[in-house]
Structure 1
Amino acid sequence: MKVRKYAAIDIGSNAIRLLTHNVIEEKDKETLFRKSALVRLPVRLGEDVFGKGRISERNEDRLINALKAFQLLMEVHGVEKYMACATSAMREADNGAEVIQRIEDATGIKIQIIDGEKEASIIASTDLKNLIRKEETYLYVDVGGGSTEFTIFSEGKIILSESFKIGTVRLLNDLVHEDLWKELENWLKKNVKGLPNLSIIGSGGNINKLHKMSGRKEGEPLSYIWLKAQYHFLTSLTFEERVSELGLNPDRADVIIPATQIFVSSAKWIGAKKIHVPKIGLSDGIIKTLYYAEK
Structure 2
Amino acid sequence: MTLFSSLFHLSVGILSEGLKALWSPHTGIVDWGKVNHSYSEDFKYRGGDVCLQFEVCGFHTVPESQRFTTSSQKEFPVRVTSEKQTIRCRYVVTCGGLYSDKLAELSGCSSEPKIVPFRGEYLLLKPEKSSLVRGNIYPVPDPRFPFLGVHFTPRIDGSVWLGPNAVLAFKREGYKPTDISLSDLCESLKYRGFQKLAIQHLGYGLKEIYRSINLRAQVKELQKFVPSLTIADVTRGPTGVRAQALDKNGNLVDDFVFDSGSGNLGERILHIRNAPSPGATSSLAIARMVADKVEQTFSL
Scaled by the length of structure 2, the TM-score of the pair is 0.28
Which structure's relative contact order is higher, taking Cα pairs within 8 Å and 6+ residues apart? 2
Which protein is bigger by CA-based radius of gyration?
2
Scaled by the length of structure 1, the TM-score of the pair is 0.29
